[in-house]
Structure 1
């Protein structure tokens, strides 16, 4: 009998966790919803969901030591997947609500800024442009995914340091709504999507299945 990957959805007070749990169960993961630090650090894969305001999500995460959990997992080479605002908080900071220094977890350089579109939030289905060699989007490169957000990272500021060429540089997927923005990042064991795979039907399920298969 094939062992199921053990996935924890971090339960830190942000909404939409139940749909993430159901979607991961659908693709064959053994899923637990918890904020227990030992379980979150020790599982095969950790999912960090997030809806609402960047500052509130960052504060709620830190209240359950989510920043420490993510750091420890990444340091130990253990996979993390951020979703929506859980994707945004992996970056350095946000300018949401006019605040210039709302700090994220700082795993990637970059600023989460309001989309310069006529209509926000960006709500609904949109195509994405994955890079060659993508693992997350393998088989769904041309599908649509479901977005609900008004802010996004619009400039990828990661610079590969000289002498660090042994690791594959991050693979960035883009989408457009008023401006080009980061729709997903694949960076070794740290992956994140601005859209909601758990709300993206069969395409989202396929993406989650691709992620679970790496655990």
Structure 2
């Protein structure tokens, strides 16, 4: 059974993510300290809230260097919602430095007439590249968003999917090395989200 470490720093939608993973027969353990990571096959970094308080809590638990080291070692990590944003270097939302696992910055969604912020509700993903989370041959996926900021990676080739917003499109999912992340909530995205988590868990289990 795949052992997933769910990073608990007091700002995540842990219960819904845990239930979604357990429905797919993963073993889920809470990660509060770096020691908790040692027996995990992969990590999930969820998050709901603001950038600076989240980084402050991660620093307070000693998890920041441990997460960076985990990702540098090529181990799997999945970020969800705020968890995606924390993987970047900085955010317009605050002054704290992010984890810096993926080069780039998180920026406020552009204001556009008739387009409310936060961006909330169901929307179809616009595929940009292929990954274990969102392979090229995957069916069209409608997923659930709640966000006011979106990541702008320094290297756009790591963008896995976008979502239409205003007069353009913003980052919806990224994949770099063994690190993937989605701005939307797969655990709240019905069958499409369940399929993504299932593909990710299968990829984790099949890794050498």
| Fold-level similarity (TM above 0.5) | yes
Which of structure 1's runs of 4+ aligned residues deviate more than 4 A?
A: none
CA distance in 1, matches of 2:147, 2:158: 23
- Structure 1 segment 13-92 matched on structure 2, within 5 A: 13-92=10-89
C-alpha distance 28-48 of structure 1, shift in aligned 2 (>3 A): same
1:123 pairs with one of 117, 120, 123: 120
| Aligned-CA RMSD value | 1.8
Question: What SS class does the counterpart of residue 91 from structure 1 fall into?
Answer: coil
- Structure 1 segment 86-165 matched on structure 2, within 5 A: 86-96=83-93, 99=94, 101-117=95-111, 118-138=115-135, 140-153=138-151, 155-158=152-155
CA distance in 1, matches of 2:76, 2:47: 17
Q: Hey, what does 1:165 align to over in structure 2?
A: none
Cα distance per residue 1:93-135 (max 9 Å; x no partner)? 0111xx4x33111112222111124301111111112234332
2:165 pairs with one of 177, 180, 187: 177
- 1:21·1:33 contact (CA, 8 Å) conserved in 2? no
Q: TM-score, normalised by structure 1?
A: 0.86
CA distance in 2, matches of 1:66, 1:180: 32
Question: What SS class does the counterpart of residue 73 from structure 1 fall into?
Answer: helix
CA distance in 1, matches of 2:8, 2:129: 34
Q: Which runs of 5+ in 1 are unaligned?
A: 160-168
Cα distance per residue 1:68-114 (max 9 Å; x no partner)? 22112123221111110000010110111xx4x33111112222111
Aligned residues: 199
1:213 has 2:202 as partner: yes
CA distance in 2, matches of 1:132, 1:150: 24
C-alpha distance 171-177 of structure 1, shift in aligned 2 (>3 A): closer
Q: TM-score, normalised by structure 2?
A: 0.88
Measure how far apart 1:171 and its partner are: 4.8
CA distance in 2, matches of 1:134, 1:10: 23
